[in-house]
Amino acid sequence: MTETLTGAQIAVRLLERQGIRIVTGYPGGAILPIYDALGQSTAIRHVLARHEQGAGFVAQGMARATGQVAVCMASSGPGATNLLTAVADAKLDSIPLVAITGQVPKAMIGTDAFQEVDTYGLSIPITKHNFLVSSAEELLTVIPRAFAIAASGRPGPVLIDIPKDVQSQAIEIAEWPEPGRAEAVPAADPALIARCAALINAAERPVLYLGGGVIHAGAAGTAIELAEKASLPTVMTLMALGAMPVDHALALGMLGMHAARYTNLALEECDLLIAVGARFDDRATGKVAAFCPQAKIVHIDIDPAELGKIKAAHIGIVADVGEALDQLLPAVGANARTAWIDRCRALKTEFPLAMHGAADPRSHFGLIRSVAACLDDEATVATDVGQHQMWVAQAYPLRRPRQWLTSGGLGTMGFGVPAAIGAALAEPQRTVVCFTGDGSILMNIQELVTAAEENVNLKIVLMDNSALGLVHQQQTLFYGERLFASQFKARPDFIKVAQGLGIAAVDLDLAANPCATLVEAITRPGPCLIHVSIDSEEKVYPMVPPGAANRDMIGA
Amino acid sequence: MNAINRKEQNTLARAVLEIDVNNHPGVMSHVVGLFSRRAYNVEGILCLPVGDGKQSRIWLLVIEDQRLPQMMKQVEKLEDVIALRRHTAEHAVFQDLESFFRP
C-alpha cells in the first residue's frame, strides 16, 4: 500500500520511526512545513526553546544524559547560525545529535534570499557529517543515515539542511527504510591486546587514564573492574568524571590544569599510562613534552585519528573501548602493587586538594558540598563554564556515568541551563542541578522561561561573584593584576529576573538558615533558582599556568 | 606553510594523495576544508568523475610535513571518502599537466 506524503511528513515519520519522542527547536519561515507536520504527530512532543542555541543545548542535555541521539531544529539563516554553537560544542565532546535546519527553496539558494545563509558550508567543520537534501525521496536515505552516523563509532553531530520546497514536495511512499542505528566496530586486535596486557603486567607504576569515550561506550564498569584487578590508580578527564566514583580507593580524581596536586604528581611518577577513550587534550596534559615523562603509553580509542595525534603511543589500539577492555580484563594478572598504591596514597595525604571553607554553605566549596549533601547519586549535575565549573569538578562527589554534564572541549558559557533542562526532560524521575555563574547564566537566561513552561525538576545554583571569574583570575595572575572587562558594574537582581521569567527563586545571602533554605529549595519539585554571592577574589587552585608543565602547579 | 617562497617550495618533499569520493557538490569542500583549517597548503588539485559518475577521484599535491599522517587520517574519516592512497611526488598525474601551468 502506498501513501502520498510531503517531505515534511516523511521527515517527521522517519523521526518517529527512529524512536524520537522529544524534539526541541524554534520555528521560522523556512521550516514551517516540518513544524506543520510535527504539530500533527502524536508520538513526538516538541519543546519550544526561547533561542535556537538553547534548543541545541536542550537536545545535547537529552543526548548526554541518555547516550541516545537527540534532535533539534531551527529555521534558515539566523535560526541556523544560532544553532551552530551548540552543534560545535557537540562535535568537540562527541555528543550524538541530529540537527535539522530549514533552508530557502532550492531555486532561491545562492541568491542571497531572505534568511538565506550557507548552512551546509558553515557546518562542515563543526559536524561529523552534513547533508543538503535535494529531494523528498532523498530524505528516506539521509535521515536514517544521519542517525547511524551520529551514533556510530565516535559519536557526533550531524546536520541536515532541508530546503522549503523539498519539505513541501509530495511523493508516494511504498516502503519505509530501517531506522539508522550505531554500526558495529571491528574488534580490537588480540595481538595488540596481549602486548598491552603484558605491559600492564610488567609495569611497576601504571596509571589508568579515562576519557569521555569510556562514558560514551558504557564501559565505566569494565574500566573499574580492570583497575581493581590490576590495582591501577585511575585519573579521569573532565569528560570522564563519574566513570569511577571519586571516593573509590583507586580514584585519583581529575587530571590536568585544575587537578589536585597528588593527581598530577602521580602522573609524573608513573611508568605506564593506559589512556582509554581520552584524547590528550591540552587542558589535561599541560605542556605535552613534559606529560608523564617516564611513562610508556598505551592508547585505546575508537577514532584512529586520535592515535598519535598529540602523543605517540607505544601501543595504539583502535577499538570500541568497552570491547577492548572486555578483552583486556582476563589477560591482565591480579596484582596488589602494594608499593605503588602506597606511594599514591602517600601523595594523596601529602598533597591533598585544599577545600577551604567546605563547612560554610555560603563559600564556593561549602555550597557545592551542601548541595551534594541534599542529593543522592541518582541526581544529575550540569554546569556552565567558568570557575564554578572547575570547583564543582573538584568538589562534587560524582559517582555515576552520565551523572555529569559539562561543556568540555568547546567550553561554552550558556551551556548549563538548557543542557540541564534537556537532561530533566529526558529523565524526569531525576533531580537535575545546574551550577552556573553570573556570566554564564546570562548567555542563555531566556531558557528559564522554557524551564518554567516545561516545569522541569531543575535546581539552578547561581554562584554570583559579579565577575568573569576565570578571566579575572588570569588577569590577576598573569596580566599584572590589570583587571579589564572582567568585573560587572551593573548587577542584575537575579531573584527578580528568575521570578519575572516564571520560576521560583531563593537568595541564600539573605537566609537566616542557609542549609535549611537550600534543602527546602532542592526538595521542592519544579524549577528553582538558588542565588549565592561568592567572593570574586577566590581562585581555582591549584592551577597549571597555560603552556606550563603539569608539575608546575601554582596556588593552594 | 603559506609564507614560504617558490624556490623554497621546490626543495621541499612533496606527496601526491589519490582520494576516491562520492561525487556530490559538497565533497570537495569537505576534503579541502580539512587542509585549510590547519593552514596546510594544497599545491595542486585535480578532480574528475569515475565510471558512471557516482564517484569521483580527487588528486592532491601537497607538501610533505610532519602533519601529513594526521591529515590523511582526518581525510579517511570523512563519510564521503571511500579510499585514500599516498604516492610520491614523482607520480605522473601532475607532471603530465605542466604544460598547462607555464607562467
The three-state (H, E, C) secondary structure of A508-530, written as one string: HHHCCCHHHHHHHHHHCCCCEEE
Of A173, A203, A222, the domain-final residue: A173
User: pLDDT at residue A1 above 90?
Assistant: no
Q: Give the CATH number of the domain where residue A255 resides.
A: 3.40.50.1220
Q: Which domain holds residue A430?
A: 364-533
CA–CA gap between residue A549 and residue A540 (Å, rounded): 17
CATH topology of domain B6-91: Alpha-Beta Plaits (3.30.70)
Strands, sheet with B14-22, edge to edge from the N-terminal-most edge strand: B42-50, B55-63, B14-22, B81-88
A19 and A168 part of one domain: yes
Inspect the interface and report whether the beta carbons of A308 and B26 lie closer than 8 Å.
no
End-to-end CA distance of chain B: 22
C-alpha cell at A37: 507536520
User: pLDDT at residue A7 above 80?
Assistant: yes
User: Quick one: pLDDT band at residue B102, thresholds 50, 70, 90?
Assistant: confident
CA–CA gap between residue A248 and residue A549 (Å, rounded): 27
A343 and A465 part of one domain: no
Instruction: Give the total residue count for chain B.
Output: 103
C-alpha cell at A418: 538548557
pLDDT at residue B99 in the model:
86
A493 and A464 part of one domain: yes
A125 → closest Cβ in B33, B73, B77: B33
Q: Give the CATH number of the domain where residue A524 resides.
A: 3.40.50.970
Phi then psi for A368, rounded to 5 degrees? -60, -45
Query: CB-based burial of residue B76 (10 Å sphere; 0-12 exposed, 13-18 middle, 19+ buried)?
Result: middle
CA–CA gap between residue A413 and residue A444 (Å, rounded): 8
Inspect the interface and report whether the beta carbons of A309 and B70 lie closer than 8 Å.
yes
C-alpha cell at A142: 539521509
A109 and A203 part of one domain: no
In this prediction, residues B59-71 reach a mean pLDDT of 95
Q: Report the gap between the CA of A296 and the closest CA in chain B (Å).
A: 21
User: pLDDT at residue B14 above 70?
Assistant: yes
Question: Given CB atoms, is A305 within the 8 Å cutoff of chain B?
Answer: yes
Domain annotation covers residue A356: no
A197 and A154 part of one domain: no
Domain annotation covers residue A375: yes
A113 and A213 part of one domain: no
Phi then psi for A278, rounded to 5 degrees? -125, 155
Please give the sequence-ordered ranges of beta strands (E in DSSP) within A135-280, or none if there are none: 157-163, 170-173, 206-210, 234-236, 251-254, 272-276
Of A350, A378, A400, the domain-final residue: A350
User: pLDDT at residue A451 above 80?
Assistant: yes
Domain annotation covers residue A392: yes
pLDDT at residue A342 in the model:
98
Domain annotation covers residue A194: yes
pLDDT in tens, A261-292: 999 999 999 999 999 999 999 999 999 999 99
Q: Are strands B42-50 and B55-63 parallel, antiparallel or unpaired?
A: antiparallel
A542: preceding bond cis by omega (within 30 degrees): yes
Question: Given CB atoms, is B79 within the 8 Å cutoff of chain A?
Answer: yes
Strands, sheet with A315-318, edge to edge from the N-terminal-most edge strand: A251-254, A234-236, A206-210, A272-276, A296-301, A315-318
pLDDT at residue B98 in the model:
82
Domain annotation covers residue A489: yes
Inspect the interface and report whether the beta carbons of A120 and B76 lie closer than 8 Å.
no
Number of domains chain A contains: 3
Q: Report the gap between the CA of B73 and the closest CA in chain A (Å).
A: 5
| Whole-complex ipTM | 0.92
A205 and A317 part of one domain: yes
**Closest chain A residue to the Cα of B68, Cα to Cα:** A309
Helix, strand, coil percent content, chain A, rounded in steps of 5: 40, 20, 40
A304 → closest Cβ in B33, B73, B79: B73
pLDDT in tens, A127-141: 999 999 999 999 999
Domain annotation covers residue A57: yes
Inspect the interface and report whether the beta carbons of B77 and A303 lie closer than 8 Å.
yes
Instruction: Give the total residue count for chain A.
Output: 556
Q: Which residue type sits at A344?
A: C
**Closest chain B residue to the Cα of A302, Cα to Cα:** B77
Q: Measured between beta carbons, which residues in chain B are less than 8 angstroms from residue A303?
A: 77
A79 and A113 part of one domain: yes
User: pLDDT at residue B1 above 70?
Assistant: no
Q: Report the gap between the CA of A131 and the closest CA in chain B (Å).
A: 9
Give the CA distances from residue A150 to residues A143, A181, A304, A372, B35, in Å, rounded to whole numbers and listed in that order. Answer: 11, 9, 17, 33, 23
Q: Report the gap between the CA of B48 and the closest CA in chain A (Å).
A: 21
pLDDT at residue B2 in the model:
47
A289 and A369 part of one domain: no
pLDDT in tens, A378-428: 999 999 999 999 999 999 999 999 999 999 999 999 999 999 999 999 999
Q: Report the gap between the CA of A196 and the closest CA in chain B (Å).
A: 23
Q: Dihedral sign, CA of A491, A494, A499, A500?
A: positive
B77 → closest Cβ in A121, A125, A305: A305
Q: Which residue of B29, B37, B54 is the best one to mutate when testing the A interface, meaning the one whose CB has the most A CBs within 10 A? A: B29
Residues B61, B94: contact at Cβ < 8 Å? yes
Q: Measured between beta carbons, which residues in chain B are less than 8 angstroms from residue A309?
A: 70, 73
A255 and A195 part of one domain: yes
A199 and A165 part of one domain: no
Give the CA distances from residue A293 to residues A202, A271, A297, B10, in Å, rounded to whole numbers and listed in that order. Answer: 18, 8, 10, 38
CA–CA gap between residue A84 and residue A88 (Å, rounded): 6
pLDDT in tens, A83-131: 999 999 999 999 999 999 999 999 999 999 999 999 999 999 999 999 9
A524 and A389 part of one domain: yes
pLDDT at residue B97 in the model:
87
Q: Which residue of A122, A124, A302, A307 is the best one to mutate when testing the B interface, meaning the one whose CB has the most B CBs within 10 A? A: A124
pLDDT in tens, A228-240: 999 999 999 999 9
CA–CA gap between residue A277 and residue A240 (Å, rounded): 9
| A154 Cβ contact list (under 8 Å, min separation 6) | A94, A128, A213, A216, A301, A302, A303
CA–CA gap between residue A100 and residue A79 (Å, rounded): 11
Inspect the interface and report whether the beta carbons of B69 and A125 lie closer than 8 Å.
no
Grouping H, G, I as helix, E, B as strand and the rest as coil, residue A272 is strand
Query: CB-based burial of residue A506 (10 Å sphere; 0-12 exposed, 13-18 middle, 19+ buried)?
Result: buried
pLDDT in tens, B38-54: 999 999 999 999 999 99
Of A350, A372, A391, the domain-final residue: A350
Residues A32, A4: contact at Cβ < 8 Å? no
Domain annotation covers residue A408: yes
Per-window interface: A 495-524 vs B, CB < 8 A: none
Q: Measured between beta carbons, which residues in chain A are less than 8 angstroms from residue B31?
A: none
